Amino acid sequence: MSDELAQDFSPLLKVYKDGRVERLLGTARVPASIHPQTGVQSKDVVISTSPPISARLYIPKSSASSESSQKLPVLVYFHGGGFCIESAFSPAYHNYLNSLVSEANVVAVSVDYRLAPEHPLPAAYEDSWAALKWVESHFAGMGPEEWLNRHADLNRVFFSGDSAGANIAHHMGLRVGSEKPVGFKLNGIVLVHPYFWGEEPIGGELALGESHRNLLATLWRFCYPLTSGSDDPLYNPGKDPKLGEMGCEKVLVCVAEKDSLKDRGWYYSELLKKSGWNGVVEVMEAKEEQHVFHLFNPTCDNAVAMLKKIVSFMN
């Protein structure tokens, strides 16, 4: 084994010259369970074996009794991690979804897509779409998963994600708009600290320093070697001629004041308004906060306020 580094993306991951990938964050896993505080139940399902795609499902306490057949809105969630770390089974995402499912009284499908660099983009997008097709297969209550057959109202579907997961949620919304699946109705999308970028700095990005801006460009190319660069429409929605085809009626964008991606979130909302899309977009900014602060400090005032906002958006 060689300890010579090929690429160092600390604190996310390191890649060695012999091809080894060492993830420095997001490798912890927690089992599905009945959450003691909220009574939310979770379980893991296999969506596909080739390619390997799985998900963690959540149902609120109200649905857990055997008599309950109440149909609830469905949240499809895409985790963050720069397309290269984290999973649907990470403690931070498991805890967050337990809280969100309990507060919003929804059924959630937290998608575990394949990660770069072993599975370079667009694998994460393809896996996420395959997961949505799997959700759609439950439309008539005849799908492979009993929880969804019994509890999911596929006329009330929402997508959400944070960081890279918000990027995925955005692109899944666009794909719904262009492909118009008949097996579910997408009502809205919540993008938390979305991972968008571009060649030309906007707003406060000039103050970030060249090394930080280069890191975001380099990490993207590392995850997607065949990309055209930072103005790839997958990374920069401002370069996407299909932006106006968003397949839902409302979008909520959450940004954090001290997040280097904040200006992209605001910019995205402006682009969406001008794109010809006839929905409503809203932005919520958390003062004094950093990127994905709510995952690390879920009980702080700003995280609680954001959770409440997302819950009211879905209800």
Q: Read off the tokens for 162.
A: 């944070």
CA 154 to chain centre: 19
Residue 99 among the catalytic residues: no
Pairwise CA distance, residues 248 & 158, whole Å: 9
The catalytic position among 138, 151, 291, 294 is: 291
Residue 163 among the catalytic residues: yes
* Strands of the sheet with 280-286, listed across from one edge: 41-49, 52-59, 107-112, 72-78, 152-162, 186-192, 250-256, 280-286
The catalytic position among 63, 102, 128, 163 is: 163
Contact 290, 262 (CB under 8 A): no
The CA-based angle 309-314-315, given to 5 degrees, is 95
Amino acid at 175: R
Residue 66 among the catalytic residues: no
What are 118's strand-pairing partners? none
Closest CA to 29 of 83, 87, 80: 87
Closest CA to 192 of 250, 267, 253: 253
Closest CA to 160 of 30, 69, 48, 295: 295
Closest CA to 247 of 299, 306, 166, 171: 171
Q: Read off the tokens for 225.
A: 């070697």
The catalytic position among 127, 232, 240, 259 is: 259
Residues involved in catalysis = 163, 259, 291
